[in-house]
Amino acid sequence: MTSDLPFNSLYRHGYARVSTCVPRMRVAAPSFNAEQTIALAREAADDGSVLAIFPEMGLSGYSCEDLFHQDALLDATEQALEHVVEQSETLPSVLVVGAPLRFESKLFNCAIVVHRGRVLGVVPKTYLPNYREFYEQRQFTPGTSALSRGGAVRLLGTDVPFGDDLLFSATDLPGFVLFTEICEDVWVPLAPSTFGAMAGATVLANLSASNITIGKAAYRRNLCASQSGKCIAAYLYSAAGRGESTTDLAWDGHALIYENSNLLAESERFSDREQRITADVDLDRLRQERMRFNTFGDCVANYREKLGLKGLLKWAIEWEADGVIGRFEDDEEAQIFTNAGIPVVAQDYKERLHTVPNITSSYFETGKLGADVDARLRVAVQTTQAQLDAAERARRAFTAAVDRALENTDVLVLPTLPALPITIEAARNGTPVLTMSSLIRPFNLSGHPALSLPIPIEGSPMKAGLQIVGRKGADEEVCAVAAHFEAALAAS
C-alpha cells in the first residue's frame, strides 16, 4: 500500500511518474529498434517511472509502406517484440510499444502493453486514416473489424486480451488506470480514450507516428490539452522521430505529457538523438476533480449502455507496481514537492532531530504557550530515533491488522471514546484528555476512512460515540453504513 512508503516517495502522496519515449529507429530493422526501445525503457525504470510509452509501430517503423505485407518483416517484428518482452522481466515499469501484428489473416496496427516479461494486452488501432498523405487502409484492418475484439488472441505462445476497450489497473497504485489508443484515434470527434476515461482510466496513452506539417505541432498541443481536460486525465503522446523514411514525409519526434489540460513536459522537436520526457502526474488531483465536476459523472451515466453492456470493461487487467513505488527516498526527490509548495520532511530528518530544541526554545521563552502545549513540546523534543522507528513499526503493524480485519467484513464498528466525555469544568481543572482520543488517532495514522455517529444514552442527556471504520478508499461505503444507522436510530 502507498501509505507504507517512505514519506519522500512521490507515490505515497498520490503521484505517479510517467515517461514518453522517442527512440532512434531504422525503417524495417526490428532488431535495432528493439534494442533502442529497451535502452530507453531501462532509463525510465531507473528513473522510477511506472509507465513508459513508445511511438506507433516503433518496432518496425511506421513508414514501411507495402513492406508491411512481407512475412520477413512481420516475422522479424514478432521476434523483436519477444525480445522486448523478455528484457522487460527485470524492469518494474509498464511498457507500451507499437508493432504490426497478424491475427485472423488480417494485419493490425497495434499497441502492446508489456510488464515484467508478460504481455498484458494488445490494443489495435480503431481509426485508420486514408486521406492526404495517409493510406493505412491499404495495409491494415481497423480494430473494430476484428472477430477477436473483446476476447483474446494467441501471441508469443500465450493467449492475451485483444481489443480497443482494455483497461489496465495497478493493484497497488490506487487511482492508476491505463487506457491506450493509437494516433488517429484521438483526431476523431469521439475518441476511444473518451470512453476509456469514462470507464475509469486516469492515464491515457497515445502511440503516434504523426508526420509533421506546417502548424501541426500547435494543433497536437491543442488536441492533447483538450482531450486531457475534457477527460480529466493525464494524456501521454509520443510521435515518431529521427530514422523514419523522409522519402515522402518529415518527422519531428514530438512527445507531450498533459494533466487535466496542463502541459507537464514536452520534447525537443527535430532532435538528432533519442529522447525521453518525464512528468509526475497527480492522480489524487484527477480523482478529486472528477468528484467535483458532477457533469463528468452525469456524462458517464448517459453512456452507461456503451460502458457496461458492450464490453468496454470486459477485460480489466491488473499488474503489480511494487517495483517502482518505493524507489524515491533521497533529498533530490523531496525537492519536487518543495518546489510545488508541498511541505516535505528530509530523508535524514531523524538525524536532524537535535535541531528541534533550538527551534522550540524561543517559543518556550515567550510564555505564550498554554501549559498543555508547552508540556507536549518539551516531551516531543526529547524524541529519539529509536522511538521513531518503534512508532513506525507499530503503525505499519496496526495498519496491516486493520486491513486483515476488513478482508471479510464491510466495516468495523467500535466506540469513539474509551469513556464518557469529561465536563468543561473538569477540563479547566486540568483533567488530561489525551487518552480520550486513543480509539480515534490510530485510524488517523493508518489511513482508513472513519466517522463517528452520536448515540443517545438512555436516561442521560449525554451521548456516546459510535465509530465506523472502512477499507481504504471505501469512504462512500462508510457514509452509507452511517446513514443506515442514523435512519434506524431515528425510527426507533
Using 50, 70 and 90 to split pLDDT, how confident is the model at 490?
confident
pLDDT tens digits for range 475-484? 888 898 888 8
Per-residue confidence (pLDDT) for residue 194, from 0 to 100: 95
Query: How much is the average pLDDT of 200-209?
Result: 96
Average pLDDT over residues 415-427: 78
| Confidence at 90, pLDDT banded by 50, 70, 90 | very high
Over 60: is that where the pLDDT of 378 sits?
Answer: yes
What's the pLDDT tens digit per position in 395-407? 888 888 888 888 8
CA distances, 265 to each of 17, 48, 215, 224, 384 (Å): 12, 16, 19, 12, 42
CA distance 96 to 77: 15
Give the pLDDT score at 3: 67
Distances (CA, A) of 116 to 2, 84, 92, 149, 205: 20, 10, 6, 24, 19
Binned at pLDDT 50, 70 and 90, residue 359 comes out as: very low
Specify the range with the lowest mean pLDDT, choosing from 118-122, 173-177, 418-422.
418-422
Highest mean pLDDT of the ranges 251-260, 403-412, 442-451: 251-260
* Grid cell digits, residue 159: 493467449
pLDDT average, residue stretch 265-289:
94
Any idea where the domains of the chain sit in the sequence? 2-325, 405-492
- Mean pLDDT over residues 103-112, rounded? 96
CA dihedral 59, 63, 65, 68 (to 10 degrees): 0
The dihedral through the CA atoms of 8, 10, 11, 13 has a sign that is: positive
Nearest 10 degrees: Cα torsion 416, 417, 423, 426? -150
Q: How far, in Å, CA of 206 to CA of 193, rounded?
A: 9
The pLDDT of residue 319:
66
Residue 311 has pLDDT above 80, yes or no: no
Asked if residue 315 has pLDDT above 70, the reply is: no
Catalytic residue among 21, 64, 110, 183: 183
On average, the pLDDT of the chain sits at: 84
The predicted pLDDT at position 313 comes to 37
To the query of whether residue 183 is one of the catalytic residues in this protein, the response is: yes
State the pLDDT confidence band at 329, using cuts at 50, 70 and 90.
very low
pLDDT at 91: 94
Is the pLDDT reported for residue 377 higher than 90? no
Which amino acid belongs to residue 32?
F
Please determine, for residue 453, whether its predicted confidence score (pLDDT) is greater than 90: no
Highest-confidence segment of 219-228, 300-309, 323-332: 219-228
Region 420-437: what's the mean pLDDT?
Answer: 74
125 is catalytic: yes
Q: Which residue has the higher pLDDT, 240 or 313?
A: 240
Percent of the chain residues past pLDDT 70, beyond the cut: 86
Mean pLDDT value of segment 444-461: 84
In this prediction, residue 170 has a pLDDT band, given cuts at 50, 70 and 90, of: confident
Mean pLDDT of 334-354: 39
One-letter amino acid for residue 312 of the chain? L
State the cell numbers at 96.
Answer: 507500451
| Interacting residues of 415 by C-beta distance below 8 A, sequence separation 6+ | 439, 464, 465, 466, 467
Does residue 308 surpass a pLDDT of 80? no
What is the three-state SS of the chain? CHHHCCCCCHHHHCEEEEEEEECCCCCCCHHHHHHHHHHHHHHHHHCCCCEEECCCCCCCCCCCHHHHHCHHHHHHHHHHHHHHHHHHHHCCCEEEEEEEEEECCEEEEEEEEEECCEEEEEEECCCCCCCCCCCHHHCCCCHHHCCCCCEEEEECCEEEEECCCCEEEECCCCCCEEEEEEHHHHCCCCCHHHHHHHCCCCEEEEECCCCCCCCHHHHHHHHHHHHHHHCCCEEEEECCCCCCCCCCCCCCCCEEEEECCEEEEECCCCCCCCEEEEEEEEHHHHHHHHHHCHHHHHHHHHCHHHHHHCCCCCCEEEECCHHHHCCCCCHHHHHHHHHCCCCCCCCCCCCCHHHHHHHHHHHHHHCCCCHHHHHHHHHHCCCCHHHHHHHHHHHHHHHHHHHHHCCCCCEEEEECCCCCCCCHHHHHCCCCCHHHHCCCHHHHHHCCCEEEEEEECCCCCCEEEEEEEECCCCHHHHHHHHHHHHHHHHHC
Query: pLDDT tier at 72 (50, 70, 90 boundaries)?
Result: very high
Confidence band for 492, pLDDT divided at 50, 70 and 90: confident
Catalytic residue among 21, 56, 184, 266: 56
Does CATH number 3.40.190.10 belong to domain 2-325? Answer: no
Compare 89 and 383 and report the one with higher pLDDT: 89
* Cβ neighbours of 385 (radius 10 Å): 11
Residue pLDDT, tens place only, 42-54: 999 999 999 999 9
Task: Give residue 409's pLDDT.
Answer: 85
Residue 125 exposure: Cα atoms within 13 Å on the Cβ side: 32
pLDDT for residue 332 is more than 60:
no
Is 241's pLDDT higher than 60? yes
| Beta-carbon count within 10 A of 183 CB | 28
Write down the pLDDT at residue 209: 94
pLDDT recorded at residue 317 = 62
pLDDT, mean of residues 145-157: 89
pTM comes to 0.67
Catalytic residue selected from 64, 125, 259, 333: 125
Amino acid identity, position 193:
S
